[in-house]
Structures are given as C-alpha cells and as structure tokens.
Structure 1
Amino acid sequence: MLSRLAGLCAGLALCLAPSVQAAIDGAQIAAGQPGVNWLSYGRTYSEQRFSPLEQIDRESVGRLGLAWAMDVPEATSLVSTPLVKDGVIYFSASFSVVYAVDARSGKTLWRFDPQVTAAFRAHNPARQRMYWGMNRGLAMWGDKVFVGTGDGRLIGIDMASGKQVWSTQTTDPETHAQITGAPLAFNGKVLIGFGGADNGPLRGYVTAYDAETGKQAWRFHTVPGNPADGFENQAMAMAAKTWTGEWWKHGGGGTAWNSLTYDPQFNRVYIGTGNGAPWNRKIRSPGGGDNLFLSSIVALDADTGAYAWHYQTTPGEQWDYNSAMDMVLAELTIDGQPRQVLMHAPKNGFFYVLDRATGKLISAEKLGKVTWAERIDLATGRPVEVPGARYESGEALIWPGPPGRHSWHPMSFNPDTGLVYIPTLDIPGYYNDKGIDPLTWQHKRNTYAFGVNVDAGDIPKDAGSSALVAWDPLAQRERWRRPTAGAWPGGTLSTAGGLVFQGQADGHLVAFDAATGETRWQFQAQRGISAPPISYSVDGRQYVAVLVGWGGGGPLVGGSLFAQHGWSFRDGGRRLLTFALDAKGELPDTPHTPVVPLDRADLQLDAASVARGEALYATTCQTCHGHDAISGGGAPDLRASAMALYPQSLSAVVRDGALQAKGMPQFDELGDAELEAIYQYLRDRARAKQPSPPKLIAPEH
C-alpha cells in the first residue's frame, strides 16, 4: 500500500464511518448542486457526468497535483465509476469486490468480497469461461450500497460496516448470464440487468428489487419468448410480430448489460438494450424483421415496469451495434422551445436526440466514418442502409466495427458549453458467414455465439484509432476533436471550471479546455486508464479521482492494436488516484516488464496441429488472451508464460483448473489432441516474427 499523502490521522478516517448513516433518497441523487458528493453512476439521474465544482478551473488546473494513491494489487482491471458520500469513496473492483475508502486520505474503511469465482465453481464452473472479471459501478439508496456480481447476484451492503444485508440471484445460475454493469437506485427500488448474449442463448430482461429487502418488485423482458408459453404483456406480443422463425431457441439477446437511466420528471426508467443473439439475423430470425427490442431505448413506468415507448436505433441488428451506451437527459431549447431530451451515442455511429416525453426522434447525425447506412430518415426514424452491409454475399467490411463508434466508456454533457464530450473509436469490422448454414447452425457451449466466422488473426496496431469529440447536440455537428492515444479511450468528466477530464490508453490523465479542446494539464498514471474520472469536495477542497486499471474488452481481446502501449498483465499500477490543487504527492515508479516470448529449441512443430490449434484457440482462449496470442494487458500473454511452455503445466492450468480461484476457468472437456494442438499454436506464435494477418475484430461487453 502506498503511503498516504493527505496528512490526516487514521483515527480521523475511521471516525468518518458513522456519517454514512444519513439515508440517501431520490431528491439527493437528483440534486444538481452543490456537487460535494457523487451519489450515482452519472453523478445525478441526468447521467450528465457534470460537476458544478469550479475550484479547479482553466487557470488553476496547472497547480493540480496528486493528493494520494491507493493500490488495489489483487485487481485485474479497474473500470468503474466511484461513488462519494460524506467524505467516503465507494468503488467496485475486479470480481465485484467493493471498497469503502476515506476520501481525504485513501485509507480503507472496509472491503466486501462476494466470492464470485467460488460461486461459479459451486454452481456451474463453465460459466466462468466467458467472464472477464470487470465491474463498472455501484448504486446507493438509504443506508446501503448495491453491487451486481459476475455470477448474477444483486447484493445490498450496509454502508457503515460493509456487511451484506441481502442478496438475490437475479439470473439463472445455470446460464452464462453475468453482471458487469452498475445497478440503478430510485423510488426505493434497485434495477439491474445482465449481459452474456454473445456467448449463447439468452433472453434479456431487467428486474427491479425492493432496496430494503431484495424482494422482486417487477421484471420486464427486452425480447419476446416462445409464443406457445404466452406473452407476459402486450409489449411482448407487439415485439413478437417483428421476429420470424423459432427465435426463442436462440434466446434472442437484447440484454441490458450497461446503461440504465431514471427520469424523475416522467417517473420512467430508460433501458439501453443489447445486440441480437446470435449476431447473424439469418439464423435467429431467418425471415427478417426488426427484432424488437434489440438495440433500442425502451421507456418503462418506474413503479410498475409497464411499457411506455421505445426507439430502435438499429432495426434487425446484426453487427453487435447494441444501444447499451449512456443515455443523457437534458433540457435543450429547440426551435425556440424548451424540450426535455434524451441524448444517445450507441455503437452504430450516429448521435441521437430524442424527445423523452414521447420517444420521437428529433435529430440524428453521423459521429464520424459510418458506412453501413447513409443517414437516418427523420420522418420514419429508420436508417437508410447501404446494400451489402448485412453481408448478404457472405462478407462485408464496414465502419464502425463491433467495438462501435462509441462503446461503454461514458460521455459527459456540460450545460455551460452546451457540448457533449464523447470518447470515440474508429475501428472497422469484417463480417463473414461463408459456409454457415442458418438452418443447421448450432450454439457451441461456452464460446462465442456470433453466427459468423471467428478467426485468430491479429489486429494490427494501425487498424484503429480514437478521439475525444466535443459534439454540439443542437447543430448536430462536431465543435472540436482531439486525437487520443491508441484505440481504447477512457470515459469523460466535464466541470463548471471549463474542463474535460479523460484518462487515456497510454496512461495519461488529461484535462482539456472544454471550449477549445486545448490540453491544460496531464499526469502520467503509469498504466492505461479506461475508467471515467469523478469530482467531489471535502472540507471545501475539490478533488478529482480516477481508477487506473486498463480494462474492458479491448485489453482482453488484445492483438497489436491494444498491446502497443506495453501494459503487461503481470505488472502493477492498478490504483485509485486522487488529485487536488497544490497537492505534492509523487507516484512511485511502476516496474514494466516487457513481453518476451519463450521458446523451446528442442520442440518440433507440426503444421497440421498448429492449424487445428489456431481454430481451437480462437473459440477457447482468444476472448481473454488476445488475437494471435498477443495480449493487450488484460490477461497473461501466453507466448511469454512459463506455464504455457510445457504441455504438462499448460494442462494443469487449462484442463485441471489449477488457477480457477484466480479467475482462470477450467476446460476439462479438452482431449489430449486438442490441448496439444493449442500448445503447438502457442509455441508457433511465440516463434513468429510477424503477427498473422487481420481477420475478425471481436466485441466489447
């Protein structure tokens, strides 16, 4: 643990614990002022991620220094938004572990571990194969903090003591459903969804629970089930008319794995839904159709879960263009009239402004290079698609790819400038379903379930880029753009001090001028940053805090595109950093271990076995250890792993499950020949002077 730099004694830190007993309600979360606390994922229900604090501004930001740093050495990645209440920071780390920390000094007050890997092993160990360990945040209500777990539980934790108050299993533990997103608390309820539709049959839904007891209040499915079982409500009956074939056998998808927003003005919740399962619509809905409510915003009554309206951003989705990205609420003056709007930048590359009273589309324009559709027809609200984009001939190369023009990294809205600050990606997608028969295709258990071909080729480092874009939602055009390092930028925070804070893939935390995009300040955190910053104040002093932990799908699927920054999984640097004006803390150097592939001079490789191993690696190992066996830093690089240097040690880990407790799943069904083929492929990649050519770019959940 790093030494604490704020200078307050441990006794004072511990004395803070009783203060968290003050009950949190919706009025506190909805309040826009004074910005002392950060009580919800987007600070307030608006999800604007705007801090009204202005002590740190354009002129003073040059004096910003490190106040304190807290190591989280057990974490594999840190991507969450911390919450702050009365001088205490709460955040979730890898495997849904929750911390409470003194906001002045960084002293740990308590730690809660829900034992996620043990839960996987107890119920269905194979589910762990598709779980990346990440968690994006928490919710608060009353005297509790809430976390969703990778194995599908929602847990209420006492804020003062860190003790579990209640726990409920919100997903079927026999499925591969998993929770990585933050819950949403409102009206004495806690709402949660889940993800996992990329990995097999899942039917999406969200569930609201009583915040005091954990008892279910209501549930809303996001895609229809088997008509023979009857429909839960009229919304499902309506949605079923937009599906064909026997879609329910494939689950359908539409999981709400990230974005949930509450609107106090209309007493509604907005659900951002995910992609189809499988991606390929030719399989799940062979007669076509819009496939509601995939890739949609669905508005529900907050008290009952009754359907109010929906808007579908990508009808008949088949590119992983889900709409589980932020939904920001604001009042904008349009044609001289104040309008209550919802702003949304899903993966498909368009920026949408909707009237949130009705769900009617106001405007939509391209955020950057988008080739799958020409435009959005404002009369119908539907995209005007480009022929061939649906890989009708068997393949298509289009922009954006599965990571999207904007992924889960949160955008922010500054009401002073009127601009939205969006972390954007520029990565193409290659889709190929040649040789796949939609009538006979079947899910392969515990692996990708895309319905398109997946190969193990590399993603070269020049295959994609990223930028911070300041977007004018009224004019629907870009005001300024600043290129950011690599292709995996962090989320953003905007402030009344005229600044935009963003962490970047190369380890820099940067403060930009919100009006011009000029760089005003930066700090090297010594590891890539994926999480969004927050701001709070204690005793009249403003702080900026961010979790440093290079995580998410990019660093896991790896390849040269994400490995270019040199972050090794085995190195440290996973920390909570907090900054204040005139603070003088120094971050100790974090050792960086270069990835050096290992080899055995005595080993003769068999070309046929290597080729078979490439296919097995793509469906078994690639989701965590990277394209072409090149890790982006989210998991060990197997080319340089001593455990992968000999078949016996590789078998102990992969087939016998020696590292299950640390998050490495067991693949006990692999035969000797299959394991040998994977081994041969890894040794071939360790010897390779050049990576394999690019093939398919994998998704991010």
Structure 2
Amino acid sequence: MKPMGRPMGLKRSAALMLGAACAISTLQGAGWAGKTAPAVRTDWHAFGGDSDEQHYSPLDQINQGNVKQLGLAWSYDVDTFDSYTQPIEVGGVVYFAAGLSVIHALDARTGKLLWKYDPDVAGQPEAKTRMRAGWGTRGIAYKDGMVFTATREGRLVAVDAKTGKLRWQVKTLDEAENGYITGPPWVAGDVVVTGFGGADYSPTRGYVTAYDIKTGKKRWRFYTVPGDPAKGFENKAMEAAAKTWTGEWWKFGGGGTVWHAMAYDTKYDRIYLGTGNGWPWNEKIRSPGGGDNLYLGSIVALNAKTGEYVWHYQTNPENSYDFNNAMDIELADVTINGKLRHVLIHAPKNGFFYALDRETGKFISAGEFAKQNWAKSIDPVTGKPEINPDSLYQDGKAFVIFPFPNGAHGVQAMSYSPKTGLSYIPVMDGGRVVVDPPNVKDWTYRSGMFVNTGLGAPPPGVTAPAAVSKLVAWDVAKNRAAWSIPQPGVFNGGTMATGGNLVFQGLNDGSFNAYSAQDGRSLWSYPMQNGMLAAPISYSIGGRQYVTIITGFRSSYANTPNWDYRQQQRRVLTFALGATRKLPKFTPVDAPIMDDPGFTVDVAKAKIGSGIYNTSCVICHGVGMAAGGAAPDLRKAPIPMDANAFNAVVHDGALMARGMPGFGNLSADEIEGLRHYIRQRARETMAAK
C-alpha cells in the first residue's frame, strides 16, 4: 500500500475551477440556465455505477484534453488467489471483495485499509463440494449503510459499511445441492437478490431469491425453469414454461441459473434476470422432443416487490450450446426513429446486440456485433431467430459454431455512454466444434462436479480457428457498429465510459488504457504489471476525480504474456490528475518445468489421470496443462512430486483457504493417475522445447 501523491497546487486548483465552470456552462446549454441543475453522481454505489448499470460515470474532470496527466495516486496489494473483482465506492470509501468473498474497505483518498471482513468460506461444510467450480467473486452490492456479498458455498452476507461487523447472513442454496455463487448480489428497492451457478456440472434447477435488506428475511423466490409437473407448478409462469419442454426434463434439473447479471429498474420497480444455458447443453438429451425451453437464454422481468413474472424475451430458443444471458443488462433512455424509448440493452454470448422495450419486453432491434453462424437472421418484427439447422449438429455431424462457449461477449463488463449513445463491448471472435456423443439416448452424467456438456469429442481433423479479440463501439439507436479496434490475445477487461468522453479498459497485456469515446483513438496507457479482466470505476471526493481498477488475470488458456498464478501482482490501483506515485519494479521470472528423474510414468495410469484432468481440472489449471493464471501450472509445481502432499491437497482439501477445493470423490487410483499424467505432460513439454 502506498500513500496518495502530492496535494494539488494552485494551477491544479485553477484547472478544477475551470472544469467546474465548463460543467455549469454545459448544463446551461442543455437547458438548465436559471434552474437548479441536477446533482452529478459522484459515487459508484452499484456494480455498474448506479441502478442503470451502464458502467458510466458522468464525471468529466478527467477528459480527452488532460487524460495524459493521469498518474498513480495510490495502490494496495491484495493477498488473495483471485482478484477478478470490481469495487464500488460510497462516501469516500472503496469497498471490494476478493478471493473467497473477503470484503475490504479502503480510504478512497489514500488507499489505507479501514477494515476487512472474512466470511470464512473454506471453513463451511458446504465448501467441500461447492468450491469445485468457479473461482472467486466478481463483485458486491451496497445499500443503506450495508455491504452485501454472496459466498461461493452459498450464503448471502450483510456487513456494516462503517465497522465491517456482520449484520446478518442467510443460506440461499437450500434447493441447489451443487450450486455455487461467484456473481455479485443485486439491490432492488428494499430487497437484495442473489442467484447462483452450477448448470454445467450436474442436474440443477435455476432460481433467484430476494431477501429483506434490513433483516435478511426471505421475501420471494422465482424459479427460472419448470420443475416436476407431478409436484405442481409454483406459478402460471412455470406452468406456461413447462409447455415448451419435452421428455422428463426435470430429472436433468433444466439449468437456467442466474449466475451473474441482473438490473433493477427504478422506473417500473422491476428486476431483470439474465438466465443461463440448459443442463446439459445438448437439448436432445434434456428435452428430446425439442421446444423453446423457457426460460433458458432469456431476459426475464419480475416485480421487485413480489417476484411475480412480468415479461420475458428469449434470445436462444432450442438452446443446444453454452449460450446464456449472464452478461450485462443495462438500462437507458434512447431516441430511436425519432421517439424516446426506455430500453434495456444487452450483448449476450450469442453475438447479437439487443435493444428491448423495458415496459413491455417487446423487441426493438438486434444486430451482429461479432462473428456468429448459429442464426441466419433475427426477425425484425418478432425478434425470433431463424436458427441455422447445421448449428444443431444433427445426425452426428460436427459443426464449428461461432461464438465459442466463452461468448462473443463474456462477463467482462460493457459500458454505455449517454453522451455518445454508444455501447463499448469487449468482444471475442472464436469458434468451437460441437457434435453429439456416440449414443445420445444412453448419455449419462458424471457426478462429483465434473463438467457435463452432453457433447461428444471433436472428430479428427475438425478444428476451430484461433480466437481473436477487439473493442467494439455499438450505436444503439442505429443498431450498428460505430467503430472497432483490434486488441491483444483473446480475453480483455471490462470497460467504463465517462462524461469526459473517455472509455477506460484494462488489457491482458498488462496495460490500462483510455480511449476516445467517439472514435477509439488511444489517448493514455499505463503499465500495470498484471493483466486485467475487471472493469474500472470512477468517483469524486472533495472535487477531485479518481479512477480505480483491480488487477488480476485468469484464463483456461495460456496467454502472451502469460500471467503466472504465483507471480501475479494483484492490486487495487487508483489514478488522478497530477498524481506521481510509482509501482515497485517487477520482473517476472519464467519458472522452470519440474521433474523427478526417478519417477517412472505408467502410461495406463496417466490415461486415467488424463480423463480426470480434462473433465475436472482443465478449467483452472489450463488446456494442455498450460495454465492461464487461474491456478498454478502443475508442470512447474512441486506438490505433485510428493504423493502424500498431493493427496492432502487434491483429496483432503488442504489448500481450500487459498481457493483449491478438495475432491474427496476421487479414488486413490484416480489421484495417482493425475500424478502420472502431470509428469507425462511435463516431459512432453520439455521434449518439445
């Protein structure tokens, strides 16, 4: 942690006064002359800034004319295994949760730690299984002097914002045995709402639950897919949804988990849910007679007070992919075809940018912001897609589908600027081979938190091209791209737009950047010593504007540069005009691949280990065992060398507090097989160099 830079001098004070005068002049030009101008929001009190969730700050002290003067005001090192998380700021305090939902409160001027609250996730009995999926937490919520976090093993926790003392906590995964939570909770009026993930691993039925902000008392619960008809339906929405499913879908849970994005609409007192993919992905298994499978891959609007269904829009009927709507749901007032519309804007995984009428849920527009081939078109009137039949991989035919499961847009935040009318999307263009398993009717899932997609292995010779990335500015009113710039690698950070006509974004190459919101010109860059996935925030204290971002990178794929898990510089970094602090010098070291010449690889055991690794370990430890920052590179790790130590970590969960779950479901032969596979891959890598 470092103190803030030097105080502002007279020149800086004069510049601030000039900036304030310009702001008043702008308001007068907008029709506020002689009137009391609306207060400009100076805090960042919600995941997306405020309830509109636009990831937009109206502050303009930092702008295109002076952004080059932006410097480091302070930094705070975070002792954690995962920091893909976004902070909030309220009343001069920056709050964030990292790793296992450990909440920190920092003085926003200096970076000084005020308090820290650890909910002891690893110490909870449920953590033994629920920590096997997901990583850390992506965000928190704030309301009425309380900070809310949802823990990986399934609690919603409320903490006093001034003292860091626990106010209340409640278990929310009482009907989701294999669920887990990595997304932020969402405030909707006088309730706080949380969903969960888990619909890639086992039979899971999605739902969200609302709790009273003051007491933690359960107010309502809404299920996102229908349950067993023999048990009756909870409401008319579930009864209607059941007509769009076939077979015995409830035995598969259905999926539809709301594992990330929601938004609260103060105008209509509604909360919007972004629902997930089906379980398993392959519809031929979970709903063999077809059907739209509501409410998978949808935006669902609920009455925030009662949880009653209001409307829905489904982006992906007959969803046989990992396409879901967990990406940002942002609210805006946009003039379209000469008429002011209250719209919901959304860029989900499937590659289309959607604008919907918030009052009615009616479709307004959809346009391709990334490469996609699952749909031939979107009907401009009904909003229904014409699905490309080849994308449903019928009759055992493999298909290279775009986008890939990571999505054309993932959970890295997009932003929207009311000043430019543009939405700024971190985009990925990548494909994946999809094909049925050898016998769809005989498919069974593998228990124990293994990834279960319902897909088969890609046939020889069928591969997807290398993925690329870009930043796309989307004109919401005109339903088209305004500009696009290429970016490094595949996975880059979330964006923030500001009233200074800037777009801020951290990249996987370790640079934190400011672009022109009008045309994407690069205006400023700072070397952060780490890649970034989280979005920045901006706020003002005492008339000074700050920009804060948390560094940390993770991927299931190796990157260039590759941010080694053990060497990552996980930090909160805050910038202001005229600040001059420096980061300590950092030189990454390429750790060598380890080996024990006395260890003899048993090919049969390594084959067993390969099966375990590629269904359970690969997401964190990397494709081909080339780690991408989410977990240690096992080829370079000492623990697999020692059978007892390896068993203690993998089977018994000795490192749960550092994010490594225990896999008590694995047999001794399977764990030993993993050790042989690790050594096999290590030697193959060394031989290839």
Common topology (TM > 0.5): yes
Distance 1:80 1:419 in 2: 24
1:78 corresponding residue in structure 2: 83
- Relative distance call for 1:264 and 1:124 in structure 2 (3 A) is closer
Worse overlay, 482-491 or 401-410:
482-491
1:282 corresponding residue in structure 2: 284
Match of 1:63 among 55, 65, 69: 69
Query: 1:509 touches 1:523 (CA, 8 Å); kept in 2?
Result: yes
Where does 1:230-269 land on structure 2 (aligned, <5 Å)? Answer: 230-269=232-271
1:228 corresponding residue in structure 2: 230
> 1:427-451 CA deviation, whole Å, 9 max, x = no partner?
1112232314334423422211211
Worse overlay, 294-303 or 176-185:
176-185
Where does 1:587-626 land on structure 2 (aligned, <5 Å)? Answer: 587-626=583-622
- Relative distance call for 1:652 and 1:184 in structure 2 (3 A) is closer
Q: What is the CA distance between 1:172 and its match in structure 2?
A: 2.3
Q: What is the CA distance between 1:653 and its match in structure 2?
A: 2.0
Q: Residue 84 of structure 1: SS of its match in structure 2?
A: strand
Q: Residue 563 of structure 1: SS of its match in structure 2?
A: coil
1:573 aligns with 2:578: no
Distance 1:215 1:176 in 2: 23
Distance 2:130 2:38 in 1: 41
Gap runs ≥5 in structure 2: 8-36
Where does 1:287-326 land on structure 2 (aligned, <5 Å)? Answer: 287-326=289-328
- Relative distance call for 1:612 and 1:195 in structure 2 (3 A) is same
1:44 corresponding residue in structure 2: 50
- Relative distance call for 1:522 and 1:247 in structure 2 (3 A) is same
Distance 1:616 1:40 in 2: 40
Distance 1:578 1:320 in 2: 36
- Relative distance call for 1:656 and 1:257 in structure 2 (3 A) is closer
1:498 aligns with 2:498: no
Distance 2:127 2:81 in 1: 22
Distance 1:60 1:452 in 2: 52
Where does 1:643-658 land on structure 2 (aligned, <5 Å)? Answer: 643-658=639-654
Q: What is the CA distance between 1:183 and its match in structure 2?
A: 1.2
Worse overlay, 78-87 or 653-662:
653-662
Where does 1:228-627 land on structure 2 (aligned, <5 Å)? Answer: 228-394=230-396, 395-453=398-456, 463-551=466-554, 555=555, 557-558=556-557, 562-627=558-623
In structure 2, give the amino acid aligned to 1:342: L
In structure 2, give the amino acid aligned to 1:240: A
> 1:355-374 CA deviation, whole Å, 9 max, x = no partner?
11111111111112111111
Q: Residue 273 of structure 2: SS of its match in structure 1?
A: strand
Distance 2:672 2:185 in 1: 43
- Relative distance call for 1:616 and 1:247 in structure 2 (3 A) is same
Q: Residue 130 of structure 1: SS of its match in structure 2?
A: coil
Q: What is the CA distance between 1:109 and its match in structure 2?
A: 0.5
2:17 corresponding residue in structure 1: none
Distance 1:131 1:619 in 2: 14
Q: What is the CA distance between 1:591 and its match in structure 2?
A: 4.0
1:117 aligns with 2:122: yes
Q: What is the CA distance between 1:606 and its match in structure 2?
A: 3.3
Q: Residue 219 of structure 1: SS of its match in structure 2?
A: strand
Distance 1:691 1:93 in 2: 38
- Relative distance call for 1:237 and 1:590 in structure 2 (3 A) is same
- Relative distance call for 1:268 and 1:657 in structure 2 (3 A) is closer
Worse overlay, 661-670 or 511-520:
661-670
Q: What is the CA distance between 1:655 and its match in structure 2?
A: 2.5
Q: Residue 673 of structure 1: SS of its match in structure 2?
A: helix
Q: Residue 504 of structure 2: SS of its match in structure 1?
A: strand
- Relative distance call for 1:547 and 1:173 in structure 2 (3 A) is farther
- Relative distance call for 1:578 and 1:669 in structure 2 (3 A) is same
Q: Residue 393 of structure 1: SS of its match in structure 2?
A: helix
Q: What is the CA distance between 1:173 and its match in structure 2?
A: 7.9
Distance 1:595 1:430 in 2: 33
2:25 corresponding residue in structure 1: none
Distance 2:70 2:491 in 1: 25
Distance 2:464 2:71 in 1: 32
1:162 corresponding residue in structure 2: 164
Gap runs ≥5 in structure 1: 9-30, 693-701
> 1:648-685 CA deviation, whole Å, 9 max, x = no partner?
43223222333233222222343343223222211111
In structure 2, give the amino acid aligned to 1:68: W
Distance 1:356 1:79 in 2: 30
Where does 1:134-145 land on structure 2 (aligned, <5 Å)? Answer: 134-145=136-147
Q: What is the CA distance between 1:146 and its match in structure 2?
A: 0.8
- Relative distance call for 1:99 and 1:223 in structure 2 (3 A) is same
Query: 1:572 touches 1:590 (CA, 8 Å); kept in 2?
Result: no
1:34 corresponding residue in structure 2: 40
Distance 2:105 2:177 in 1: 31
Q: What is the CA distance between 1:485 and its match in structure 2?
A: 1.8
> 1:104-162 CA deviation, whole Å, 9 max, x = no partner?
0000101011111111xx23612222242x21111111121111110111111111100
> 1:603-648 CA deviation, whole Å, 9 max, x = no partner?
3333333333211211232121111111001100000001112434
Query: 1:628 touches 1:691 (CA, 8 Å); kept in 2?
Result: no
In structure 1, give the amino acid aligned to 2:549: V
1:216 corresponding residue in structure 2: 218
Distance 1:218 1:376 in 2: 35
Worse overlay, 389-398 or 49-58:
389-398
1:640 corresponding residue in structure 2: 636
Match of 2:174 among 172, 175, 199: 172
Query: 2:433 touches 2:463 (CA, 8 Å); kept in 1?
Result: no
Q: Residue 646 of structure 2: SS of its match in structure 1?
A: helix
Q: Residue 300 of structure 1: SS of its match in structure 2?
A: strand
Identity %: 45
In structure 2, give the amino acid aligned to 1:40: A
Distance 1:245 1:657 in 2: 39
TM-score of the two chains, using structure 1 as the length reference: 0.90
Distance 1:199 1:675 in 2: 20
Query: 1:130 touches 1:446 (CA, 8 Å); kept in 2?
Result: yes
Query: 1:130 touches 1:176 (CA, 8 Å); kept in 2?
Result: no
Query: 1:402 touches 1:429 (CA, 8 Å); kept in 2?
Result: yes
- Relative distance call for 1:502 and 1:440 in structure 2 (3 A) is closer
Q: Residue 353 of structure 1: SS of its match in structure 2?
A: strand
Query: 1:366 touches 1:375 (CA, 8 Å); kept in 2?
Result: no
Distance 1:418 1:690 in 2: 52
Query: 1:533 touches 1:544 (CA, 8 Å); kept in 2?
Result: yes
Distance 1:32 1:346 in 2: 33
1:698 corresponding residue in structure 2: none
- Relative distance call for 1:272 and 1:174 in structure 2 (3 A) is closer
Q: Residue 333 of structure 1: SS of its match in structure 2?
A: strand
In structure 2, give the amino acid aligned to 1:673: D
